[in-house]
Structure formats: C-alpha cells, structure tokens
Chain A
Amino acid sequence: MDLGSLFNYLINSPGIGGAIAMTVLGGAIVFYVFLARWIVRGTPARGAKPKR
C-alpha cells in the first residue's frame, strides 16, 4: 500500500478515527497524571529512597 492510500485508509475507516481520538485523549490523561506526580515528588535520585 503506498502512502497515499494508507493515509486514505486511516482517514476514512470508521473506528480508526475513534482510536486516534481516544489515543490522543488517553495519552494526554496519562501524561498529565505523570506530570502531577513529577511536580510533587520530583525525579527520585538513583539508589536513594525518594524523600517526601
């Protein structure tokens, strides 16, 4: 399949669009939760137990 028809397939197929949307939104949630933890806890130093 060349790039053009692959693009067409991704754009047109039902379900793929839904998957794209949910991946973007789901990925965003995961990333933001990770950010929240990082803000409060920081990156734990190697070997040492993370201090709170």
Chain B
Amino acid sequence: MHPHNPHESIILAPLRVITRGDKLLWLTLFGVFLAGLVVWIYQFVLGLGVTGLNRPVYWGIYLTNFVFFIGLAHSGTFISAILRVAGAGWRTPLTRAAEAITLFSLPFGVMSILCDMGRPDRILNLVFYGRFQSPLLWDVTAVGLYLLSSIFFFYFSLIPDIALCRDRLTDAPRWRRRMYEVLALGWQGTPDQFRRLDRVLDGMAIFMSMVVVTVHTVVSWIFGMTLQPGWHTALIGPFFLLGAIFSGTTAVVIVLAVLRKVYHLEKVLTPDLFNSLRKLLIVFTLGWSYMMGAEFLTTGYGNMTEEMVVLNDKFSGQYAPIFWTMVVLVFVVPLFIFLVKGKKSLGWLVGACVLVNIGMWLERFIVIVPTEASPRLLPYLGGGAYQPTWVEAVITLSLFAGMFLLYAVFTRFFPIVPIWETAEHHVGHAVEAAAIAEAK
C-alpha cells in the first residue's frame, strides 16, 4: 500500500498544523501580489509609458524577470529529471522541493511577458495569427510545453503521497480530505501501479531533460535571432542554458535550507545532500565564467566597432557598476565560499547561493539592456538610457511574492519531501525496483 518510510511522521508533521505565522505570511504575500495586479491594471489603462522603457531600450525589467523566472524553473527539472536519468540516487529527498520551484516560477515567467505586452488583450492573436518563423512563437510552444509537462510530471510523482495524506491525515477538515481523495485518483499503491508510475517518470524524465535544453535555448533566441551587437552570438543559447541551471540549483539550495529549518527536516535533508549540490555549483560557476570569458575574448579580439561599444559599456562605461557587481556576486565570492567555507557551514553555502541569485538577475539585465542602449545607429542616434520606475518595481516584487505564496501554501498541504521515493527499498528506478522485488 504505502512503502514504509521511517521518516514519515517527520515529513507529515508540517501538514498537520497551520500556524498564525503562516496565515500572516500568506496574507502579506497575497497583499503584495494584489498590489502588483492593481499596478498592472494602472499600466494597462495608461499605457507602457508609465514604465522607464523608451527608444531604444524597448525591453527592460519585465524581460529580465521573464528570463530569470524561466531560469529558476530549470532547477527543478535539472534535479528531478536530469539527475534521475543520470541515476543519481542522492537526489530523491530534493526532487519535490526542486520541482515545486519549477512549477511555481514558470507561471510568473509567463506573467512577466503579459506585463510587457503593449496589447495583452490581443494575446489570442498568437493562436489565430501565430507565425512559426518568429522566435516568439517558438517561445510560446516551448515554454507552454514545459509548463504543461512540469505540471503533470510534478503531479504524477505526487500521487502516492496524496494517497498517503488521504489515508493518514484523517483529522483534516472535510474539504481537505475530499481534495486528497479526488487528487489521489484512487491510487492503491499496488506493485503494478508503482511499476507503471516509475516507467512514466523515467520516460518523462528523459523528455523533460530535452525540453529543458530546448526551452532556455529558445528563450535566448528572442535576443540571439536579432542582429543587435552583443545579442547575435551563437553562444547565447548555451550561455543562457547554463545560467539557468546554475541559478536554478542555487535556488534549490536556498529553498531546501529554509524548509529544513522551518519544518525540522534535518534528518531527511542531510549535510551530504548539500555537499553534493555544492560540488555541482562549483562546476556551474566555473562553466559560467568559461562562457563569459570565451564570449568577451572573442568579441574583444575581433574589435568590431558596434560590438566594442557594447563591450566597453559593460566593462568601463554606463553599465560597469552593475556588470562588475554581477561578476563578484556570481563568480568571485561564491567560488571562494563554495571551495572554502561552504563544505563546513550550511549558512555560508546558502549565503553564497543568495548572492548568486541576485547576481544572476543582474546578469539577465546586463545581457538585455546595454545592447539596446548602444544600437548600430549609435553614432547617429546617441546612446540610450534606462531608468526603471516604481511601476516596474512593484510589479516585479508582486511576481516574487506570488511565487513565494504558492510555494508556502503548497508546503502546508502536501509533503515537500517525497515520502514514497525516499522510502526503504525504493531506489527510484523501475528496473532496479523490479530486480529487488525479484530477488525477494
């Protein structure tokens, strides 16, 4: 029925109570989200002129948020899909927490784009008049497919635990028990059902790994397919992809550390896990700096005029402060912490991950805005500048608040650590589970 897991009561404990602190948190987050909605309506009525966007900086904070949220989403898929395919058994306690980041950040990525459109009321034009030559249609298809697949991938791996909640949380209010009943789809936990579930998750893991690579590459191509200096580089796809996996994994570390503290999951989310993630992060930060180095060396050595203007703007011009802050936050300080301090101290590790996330948000900004501010016609037009307004700040905050809200509420209704996947005798892979059953 339900595989035996000695940590079951620890993992279910957070679901048995909703504290006043929770309600206050949810209310606050909801308030911020609502504020963003109101401000967006204000923007829709008055026009995008209320932002700091202008000519030539037509895309700014909203697009930065879009890329950032989609990047965050890659964390979950990386942990639960790519590592599953790689057979990394240590990932099992993390998969749901990581996938939840994916599930709850993707919708806000999509919302970021809606906030940026001049005529969001005409969104259905994408369906009726969509042209596949446009990178934006590739985005719609890829991100849409990613969102759908993530929802189902997440739901499928949640089913056995929903059934567990249905059977164990008998004290819960009626509506909540009914919700578990409906969502459990009549799951009985028979060996056949587990076998089919593992097969589906294996297959979807492979598919999701391919989708992940496609999605962020396609997202980068809305920049890369234009002829703008600094954007039109073949490296932009891999660069965005690695950046996404990198920032996503740091987000996973932060979320896990918070959950571990708040829900007392120290026995389940062990230091070993964080150590494995730390080693991955070292690889990622080195990989990211490799790509940055390759890009800038190639650009700088080539010395093409319009590209050098953008490069110099980032290195020593208008955007130098943001650029160098980014380098320090994404590479210099985190690498030091990952190598030296992070092994012994979870606090330092999480701190480094927070820095990386802030730095990666800045990195998206640095990719997008300086290129726009120095267009090819620069000698004729003069340079551009971008001063975001309170409208963009409030909407950005509200999107993050929305994501945190969904995540926080979720953790009180469903177990954030997969109980069935971390149970004894469950190795998270259909073939091996069948072999173990055979051997018994």
Give the interface of A toward B (CB within 8 A): 10-22, 24-25, 28-29, 32, 35-36, 38-40, 42, 52
Contacts and interface: CB of A to CB of B under 8 A. Distances in A.
Contacts of B131: 11-14, 16-17
B152 A15 contact: no
Which 9 A-B pairs rank lowest in CB-CB distance, beginning with the nearest?
A18-B130, A17-B132, A17-B130, A14-B129, A32-B152, A18-B127, A17-B131, A21-B141, A11-B133
Given A14-B130, A36-B152, 6 more contacts: A16-B131, A17-B137, A21-B127, A25-B144, A35-B156, A38-B200
B152 A40 contact: no
Nearest to A20: B132
Contacts of B159: 39-40
Contacts of A13: 131
Nearest to A24: B141
Interface stretch (B35-43, B83-91, B186-194): B186-194
B192 to A, nearest CB: 6
| Chain B residues touching A, majority SS | helix
B117 interface: no
| Chain A residues touching B, majority SS | helix
Nearest to A23: B141
Contacts of A14: 128-131
Given A29-B148, A36-B185, A40-B193, A15 B132 contact: no
7 contacts: A10-B132, A21-B140, A24-B145, A39-B196, A39-B197, A40-B159, A42-B192
A40 B186 contact: yes
B134 interface: yes
B325 interface: no
B434 interface: no
Interface string B103-136: 0000000000000000000000011111111100
B1 to A, nearest CB: 14
A35 B196 CA distance: 10
B433 to A, nearest CB: 15
Contact of A32 (B148, B185, B193, B196): B148
A20 B193 contact: no
Contacts of B155: 36
Interface string B89-109: 000000000000000000000
Q: Point out which of A15, A17, A42 has the most chain B C-beta atoms below 10 A from its C-beta.
A: A17
B139 to A, nearest CB: 10
Interface string B189-223: 00011001100100000000000000000000000
A42 B133 contact: no
B149 interface: yes
Contact of B193 (A21, A25, A35, A42): A42
Given A21-B137, A25-B144, A28-B149, A40 B185 contact: yes
A17 B134 CA distance: 9
Nearest to B198: A39
A16 B131 CA distance: 7
A38 B126 CA distance: 33
A17 B133 contact: yes
B189 to A, nearest CB: 11
B342 to A, nearest CB: 38
A13 B134 CA distance: 11
B148 A25 contact: yes
Contacts of B144: 21, 24-25
